[in-house]
Structure 1
């Protein structure tokens, strides 16, 4: 079954540590404001402690409920999901207020109607905070969708610039092989069909194993073109990690290694390695730098830029693409967080 490109989902960012920390800090700021407000009876530090306890319980319960219901809520539109979140915030406020009443009503008596008035105040505060958060969320989400649409348009333009160069080189190689080595020409065309089937499918995600298979097909095509001039080294673990990558994201880095390395040398090599830790998968593509004084051109770095943008978008900024020169070799390193 073909995988489709996943649009950003509103709840995904809530499970990340920075979002949880900001929710807790915002709760503490609200507790400080309520403790310093005029009309607070008794010790303000005690009021701050109790208010902070209630707010943090409400916030964490709401986050926990959203996480437990993530499968059910995944199909909701962002605006409806925001309203559901406000409703859960209210429900958890009443739940926490009821729990506090059951635990401390004997040691913290109030005048008749005092607890009811407190619940009304908490409900009003929750509604005010929830509606402010709803407005902020809608503005943030609209901005994020606009950014994603703009990025997708940019990526499609980048891909359109990659394909012609590769296609022309491959067709030239195939034309040269048709009469002398027809079997290899047939294999070249089959590999080309697989690559362009992936390219024409549009933005989507595939497994790292499938993406490396596409890169291998590309290198098989280039091996027919360069012959003994090209040496390819694969260094892969026995089982590849189960992570996903944007389709045709590793292959452009391999193409760059051909264009800016092997193509300008009498003999060249490409090494592709994959290593994994419990948290990160690292893909490294390296090629020797051409000799100083040889033919050189900077290129547009289309493949590198496209891969960097797409992996950062897929991993919400946790993945990266970095390049470096070390020991006379140009190295492109892709880092992918496990769980993507």
Structure 2
């Protein structure tokens, strides 16, 4: 059965940023307006401008802003129909809309003002031809800039995907090797727990082998719980676990196996190095805009924390930052005789 968390994960995996998405953002609209004003200034200062240059600037600005805002408005209304187009084709459609809107605004000006329009001192056909040439020149320059920007963005996305895949490839053998070692030791020492062990191992292996994906925080904590159940069989009374969870977990997503490796680090570099064992605390707290997950473990008996290769920590940090667009984080600190790993996740759309 497909659960809501699975549907969210699948939707996040298939949804990708669209080029049109940036057009409705306030910075883009401000830049469009400023670019239009700069073009109006250039036209007003150009040799051959008839009449008062301030009047010419005002009229040119009016035409340019009407064309720009109409083009953005039409693109917004057609956003669903245009969503399937490739970015390059979408850019050509935008240029065509700018030309059509230029002719539309010019035609409306012709009907409303006739020969009294100061910009049409040499006749409307000549003015429309000039405006068409300006739109084509500016549009083609914009197409070239867009092409370079889009290629750079694709290269950046592919580089990030390659980095994440490399980290995933490193964490899988690391995780599976440690879990198999635990299972092998328990088969001989506590054979009566083999069935429970195999069920927990199956859940963990399924998550590790499924590849990079996003799951709910509840599912990720369930994987951590499975891992701790296996380790509890191995350590017995040496391992004490304190879960501090709210009655209802926040509806946020995390990369699969991003919190579990932090719990694994707490076992490997804390409990395992202490003959007397210790307590691991896993706490989830929320604020209006952030979910905080803390994994706390005691330091080794010598008081010195000697981290290993930090494969799990580095992978968790990079993957959470990638998922949240840099708004989430994984931080570690030593506080007295305790080592604390803190995961911060933003609430809402990333």
Q: Does 1:323 align with 2:334?
A: no
CA–CA separation in structure 2 for the residues paired with 1:258 and 1:326: 16
Matches of residues 161-180 of structure 1 in structure 2 within 5 Å?
A: 161-178=170-187
Say if 1:307 and 1:118 are closer, same or farther in 2 by CA, change over 3 A: farther
2:204 aligns to what? 195
2:100 aligns to what? 91
Please report how far the alpha carbon of residue 99 of structure 1 lies from its aligned counterpart in structure 2 after TM superposition: 4.9
1:294 aligns to what? 303
Say if 1:165 and 1:311 are closer, same or farther in 2 by CA, change over 3 A: closer
Alignment RMSD: 3.4
Larger Rg: 2
Matches of residues 35-114 of structure 1 in structure 2 within 5 Å?
A: 35-100=44-109, 108=117, 114=123
Q: Does 1:126 align with 2:135?
A: yes
TM-score normalized with structure 1 length: 0.80
Secondary structure of the residue aligned to 2:250 is coil
Q: Does 1:339 align with 2:349?
A: yes
**Contact 1:191 1:218 (8 Å CA) reproduced:** yes
**215-224 or 77-86, which deviates more:** 215-224
Matches of residues 25-44 of structure 1 in structure 2 within 5 Å?
A: 25-44=34-53
TM-score normalized with structure 2 length: 0.78
Matches of residues 136-155 of structure 1 in structure 2 within 5 Å?
A: 136-155=145-164
Could you list the runs of 5+ residues in structure 2 that have no partner in the other structure?
Answer: none
CA–CA separation in structure 2 for the residues paired with 1:213 and 1:309: 22
Give CA deviations for 1:284-333 in whole Å, capped at 9, x if unaligned: 22314626843533334333433343344344x35231425375452423
2:167 aligns to what? 158
CA–CA separation in structure 2 for the residues paired with 1:112 and 1:44: 14
Say if 1:253 and 1:110 are closer, same or farther in 2 by CA, change over 3 A: same
Q: Does 1:233 align with 2:266?
A: no
Give CA deviations for 1:133-161 in whole Å, capped at 9, x if unaligned: 22122222222222222222222221222
CA–CA separation in structure 2 for the residues paired with 1:111 and 1:60: 22
Q: Which has the higher helix share?
A: 2
CA–CA separation in structure 2 for the residues paired with 1:50 and 1:95: 16
CA–CA separation in structure 1 for the residues paired with 2:112 and 2:330: 55
Matches of residues 186-265 of structure 1 in structure 2 within 5 Å?
A: 186-228=195-237, 229-236=239-246, 238=248, 240-241=250-251, 243-265=252-274
**Contact 2:45 2:53 (8 Å CA) reproduced:** yes
Aligned pairs, number: 336
Say if 1:253 and 1:176 are closer, same or farther in 2 by CA, change over 3 A: closer
Give CA deviations for 1:1-41 in whole Å, capped at 9, x if unaligned: 67246555433444444444433333333333233322223
2:282 aligns to what? 271
